């Protein structure tokens, strides 16, 4: 089932009601026919909500809009729940091979980490032990102006 909002599309499992995937966009007008787009794909899991963002600028001339350049790309954890980003890699390409273009593809890998502290009850001095839980996440999406 799809839920469509002004700036967000959610893919929800009909049987469980669980959010499977989400995509969003925010568009800001700049000047001289230029706009800035912030688009993302979102994944929800036991670590919370993770988003892969792309920020790019468009130029519109004579009714034709094109993506001129990518100005940023990054991962973010929307619900902290003790997890943090350790490594992130993101690449955005033009699907036509060069810029300006009307379609881009963004893909990335991120390692998220959670520190867990526990006390060793077998130790004479109740020392603290630390454990690191790591998860690798891969996401990819395409965005087209038309």
Averaged confidence pLDDT in the chain: 88
Region 118-142 average pLDDT: 77
SS3 112: strand
pLDDT, residue 6, reads 59
- The CA distance from 94 to 99, in Å, is 6
pLDDT band at 48 (very low <50, low <70, confident <90, very high): confident
pTM: 0.85
pLDDT in tens, 69-97: 999 999 999 876 788 999 999 999 999 99
- The CA distance from 7 to 34, in Å, is 19
């Amino acid at each position: 089932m799809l839920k469509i909002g002004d700036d967000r599309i959610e893919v929800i499992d009909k049987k469980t009601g669980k959010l499977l995937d989400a995509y969003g966009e925010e568009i800001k007008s700049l000047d001289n026919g230029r706009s800035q787009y912030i688009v993302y794909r979102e994944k929800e899991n036991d670590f919370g909500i993770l988003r892969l963002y792309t920020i790019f600028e468009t130029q519109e001339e004579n009714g034709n809009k094109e993506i001129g350049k990518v100005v940023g790309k990054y991962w973010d954890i929307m619900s902290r729940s003790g997890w943090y980003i350790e490594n992130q890699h993101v690449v955005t390409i033009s699907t036509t091979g060069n810029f300006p273009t009307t379609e881009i593809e963004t893909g990335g890998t991120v390692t998220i980490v959670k520190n867990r502290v526990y006390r060793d009850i077998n130790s004479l001095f109740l020392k603290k032990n630390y454990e690191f839980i790591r998860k690798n996440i891969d996401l990819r999406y395409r965005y087209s102006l038309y």
